[in-house]
Structure 1
Amino acid sequence: MARNSIDPIDLFGMALVAIFGPMAIGVVAFKITVFGGFSFTDILWSGSGVEITYATVLALIGVGWIVLANFIVGDWDIDELEWYHTAAIVVALGIVPVYAVVPAVQNVFSDYGAIALVVAIVQTGFGPLLSWEG
């Protein structure tokens, strides 16, 4: 599409990242109490200290949507990416898996809510940044 504008194709991914990213790192919780209750922070799979939730999967789908859409549409070319594009993509894709896999990060986020909130805000800002720069 165009640089210095938010592409409509990225809006779906931005919504997923903004809603489920903070849930995936334990900052926000959303529970539906109809039909026996459902929470996006329910664990899908766990083992060896790793816990994968619905929010984790949906947040990663959102970031993946933005990145793949910009590559497929032709907004980005791997050879023309600036260093800050690459850094933003790596951090946006890495926040949730690092939280899910590294128990020390989970402990820091649970002990220091301000750090988790700042990381959630930064993560939510990656969607519009990546779309704008695309």
Structure 2
Amino acid sequence: MATVLDFTTGSGNGTNEVDLVDVAALMLLPITASMIFGIFTMQINVFGGYDFTAPIWTVGGASISAALLITLFADFWILGTNVLNDQTKHEQNELIAIGLALAAPLLYVFVPAFASLVQADILRLALLMYVSGAAVYVSYES
């Protein structure tokens, strides 16, 4: 008998796997988060050029860029399709780890003390891997 795939909850057989609905967000999140953390930059040079880390708005000294907005969209997409459904059962320690990982880009932009804490290159790379890993974990576990 064929299993029916539900678009919002992933596999039809109840096993853990990365949901197809999250694949685009899981590809965008590490790229745009690495731009936020200053690991690399990217710009488009056609049609006048555009830098994804250039500020769109400046609020209280913090620069809101396209990379931050895309990262937040990817975070909320993954959370919305995985954590907020009725079939997901995460323990409290998992939710705290997921929350910290998905809040890290906001903390890096809006809290200067957090940005100073992870100022070393290896710490920013470790933070990027933690944020990316948490997003994949959320998609896989639900």
TM-score scaled by length of structure 1? 0.85
Following superposition, the deviation at residue 72 of structure 1 comes to 5.8
Of residues 22, 33, 50 in structure 1, which corresponds to 2:62?
A: 50
**Any gaps of 5 or more consecutive residues in structure 1?**
none
Q: Does 1:131 align with 2:105?
A: no
Of residues 120, 130, 133 in structure 2, which corresponds to 1:112?
A: 120
Q: For the residues of structure 2 that align with 1:12 and 1:72, how far apart are their CA atoms?
A: 19
Q: Which amino acid aligns with 2:123?
A: I
Q: For the residues of structure 2 that align with 1:74 and 1:13, how far apart are their CA atoms?
A: 21
Q: How does 1:1-134 map to 2 (within 5 A)?
A: 1=10, 2-71=14-83, 74-76=86-88, 80-109=89-118, 111-134=119-142
8 Å contact kept, 2:102–2:131: no
Number of equivalent positions: 130
Following superposition, the deviation at residue 34 of structure 1 comes to 1.3
Following superposition, the deviation at residue 48 of structure 1 comes to 1.8
Following superposition, the deviation at residue 105 of structure 1 comes to 2.6
Q: For the residues of structure 2 that align with 1:29 and 1:91, how far apart are their CA atoms?
A: 24
Give the structure with the larger helix fraction. 1
* CA gap 1:73/1:83 in 2 versus in 1, 3 angstroms: closer
What SS does the aligned partner of 1:52 have? strand
**Any gaps of 5 or more consecutive residues in structure 2?**
1-9
User: Aligned residues: percent identity?
Assistant: 27
- Superposed CA RMSD in Å reads 1.8
* CA gap 1:123/1:72 in 2 versus in 1, 3 angstroms: closer
Q: Which protein has greater RCO, CA pairs closer than 8 Å, 6+ apart?
A: 1
Q: Which amino acid aligns with 1:93?
A: L
Q: Which amino acid aligns with 1:129?
A: Y
